[in-house]
A = this chain, B = another copy of it.
Amino acid sequence: MSSGAPRDEFSTGLTHECGVFAAIGATEWLTGNADIAQIICIGLEALQHRGQESCGVVTSDGSNEFHIHKGMGLVKNVFNKDNIGKLRGSLGIGHTRYATRAASAAVNCQPFVVHSMHGSLATAHNGELVNCSSLRKMVLDRGVGLSTHSDSEIITQALCLIPPEGEVNGPDWPARIRHLMQLAPLSYSVVLMLKDRIYAMRDPYGNRPLCLGKILPPNYDAENEDVQPEGWLVSSESCAFLTITRYVREVLPGEIIEMTHQGVRTVDIVRRPADKQLAFCIFEYVYFARPNSIFEGQEVYSVRSHCGRQLAIEHPVEADIVGSVPESGNAAAFGYSKESKLPMGELLTKNTYVGRTFIQPTNRLRQLNVALKFSPIGTNVKGKRIILIDDSIVRGNTIGPIIKLLRRAGAKEVHIRVASPPLKYPCYMGINIPTKEELIANDLDSKSLASKVGADSLEYLSVEGLVKAVQRNIEKGADKGHCTACLTGEYPEQIPNELDW
């Protein structure tokens, strides 16, 4: 996997569903010229690793006629000067998507926009509703026709449809949101735009990430950033904040935030059941997030590096050089090298141009696969005992051919160290994990796998080691807790039967 590179056919197999982004301008500067739309697109490009299938932006200029542009593909291919020029207004939300539940098609592109009796609303969603089926039935039973299988559409229609019990059917959106969050506690981060405001909410378990940022004025004093912001942002990850924007803090589990031209405020915090722990997805640390994103007060790179250190402690081996499957595992290799005192160096170089669109399906050249993508660096490989760090192993298809490449380039020994525990269980909260049968860890233990892929040794990080690396820097006493369901089979809440694997 990767600390920053595009997920492609060579990535090991997990796919994530979505990134969300929202922006509202507090000053005049941000009201014309599609500035807000451009800021959102810049944010979406920084979140592109969370979904490359489709993307979309919706803006409002204060009326109920929102401006919308969505399409299949990368942000840079979907948006251009022409279409972004039409996304006028001073607030907007954006989405980048990898299909989970709903099939891949233009109709499923988010944000969803609907006209409701209380004005237009647009929603963008990261996550997956664990009790999607029962919510869907409820919406259908009320006589709504649904256009898609997306749970994001259900969220949107449910917000329109369902007034908080015991309350009048009025435009009290915070009450509607609170009510929905009580009906559906897991899992999502959502941004929701009305004509003049944006709501952002994170599920009570904190399963999906969400954070708050601000836009700095053009000529702020670099020494003193405590100026009045020009606007406010919400993003799935803090890596989307750049020189002109700043990370402020995480949106709390269960928190509902309201952003207007006047500022930002916490509307409410919806609680999870008292006996339940927080359940922030531990694979955000391991694999999904960009290395420079910040969760729970710590940089992802630092956590990955500590996973590498922990891995070196758990599974040391004599060797000449430590490297990674690029750029995947770079941070863990850094930690492993530091802990083991072994030098770190590039073992493989990646050909970024490879497309192979032209290879005939019947051709024996098909098998070249991995060899087209990675080339060994002889200088660091030939005659060396190598430790190769990978961030995770899912199907186990890639590691074998890579080892073969290294051996052919003269590696004396190849030791694989995996900076996460074996992946064994499905995720029902937004991660697209292969079937049980496809997960190699359900089939082979580390020794058998080593032998199958031709490694001199192959070892995983332990679950305890991972949790230790993740929680090491979180302050004592903080409300912490991580979802490790895909590793342990222990889910934050009971999973409805119909979702059985």
- Tell me the A309-340 residues at the B interface (CB within 8 Å): 327, 330-331, 334, 337-338
A301 to chain B, nearest CB (A): 5
Q: Does chain B have a CB within 8 A of A273?
A: no
* Cα A159 to Cα B143 with chains together (Å): 9
* Cα A143 to Cα B350 with chains together (Å): 46
A156: nearest residue on chain B (CB-CB)?
B145
User: Are A38 and B145 within 8 A (Cβ)?
Assistant: no
A6: nearest residue on chain B (CB-CB)?
B352
Q: Does chain B have a CB within 8 A of A351?
A: yes
Set of chain B residues within 8 Å of A343, measured between Cβ atoms: 337-338
* Cα A361 to Cα B35 with chains together (Å): 12
User: Are B301 and A377 within 8 A (Cβ)?
Assistant: yes
The 8 Å CB contact of A117, one of B141, B302, B351, is: B141
Set of chain B residues within 8 Å of A162, measured between Cβ atoms: 143
Stretch at the interface among A40-48, A412-420, A457-465: A40-48
User: Are B362 and A33 within 8 A (Cβ)?
Assistant: yes
Q: Does chain B have a CB within 8 A of A152?
A: no
Set of chain B residues within 8 Å of A243, measured between Cβ atoms: 368, 371, 404-405, 408
* Cα A163 to Cα B368 with chains together (Å): 44
User: Are A301 and B143 within 8 A (Cβ)?
Assistant: no
- Tell me the A120-156 residues at the B interface (CB within 8 Å): 121, 140-147, 149, 156
A147: nearest residue on chain B (CB-CB)?
B114
User: Are A38 and B301 within 8 A (Cβ)?
Assistant: no
- Tell me the A153-190 residues at the B interface (CB within 8 Å): 156-157, 159-163, 169
Set of chain B residues within 8 Å of A84, measured between Cβ atoms: 358, 360
Interface string of A284-296 (1 = CB under 8 A from B): 0000001110000
* Cα A107 to Cα B346 with chains together (Å): 40
- Tell me the A327-381 residues at the B interface (CB within 8 Å): 327, 330-331, 334, 337-338, 343-346, 349-365, 368, 371-372, 375-380
- Tell me the A65-99 residues at the B interface (CB within 8 Å): 68, 74-77, 79-81, 83-85
User: Are B346 and A41 within 8 A (Cβ)?
Assistant: no
Pick 29 A–B contacts, CB within 8 A, sort by A. A4-B349, A5-B352, A6-B353, A33-B360, A35-B365, A38-B358, A38-B363, A41-B359, A42-B356, A48-B351, A79-B357, A80-B357, A84-B358, A106-B106, A114-B147, A116-B144, A143-B163, A144-B144, A144-B145, A144-B157, A144-B161, A145-B156, A222-B408, A244-B368, A291-B349, A292-B349, A299-B379, A331-B377, A352-B352
Q: Which are the 3 A-B pairs with shortest beta-carbon distances?
A: A76-B355, A114-B145, A143-B161
Listed in ascending order, the chain A residues whose CB lies under 8 Å from chain B are 3-6, 33-35, 37-39, 41-42, 45-46, 48-49, 52, 68, 74-77, 79-81, 83-85, 106-107, 112-117, 121, 140-147, 149, 156-157, 159-163, 169, 218, 222, 239, 242-244, 290-292, 299, 301-302, 305, 327, 330-331, 334, 337-338, 343-346, 349-365, 368, 371-372, 375-380, 404-405, 408
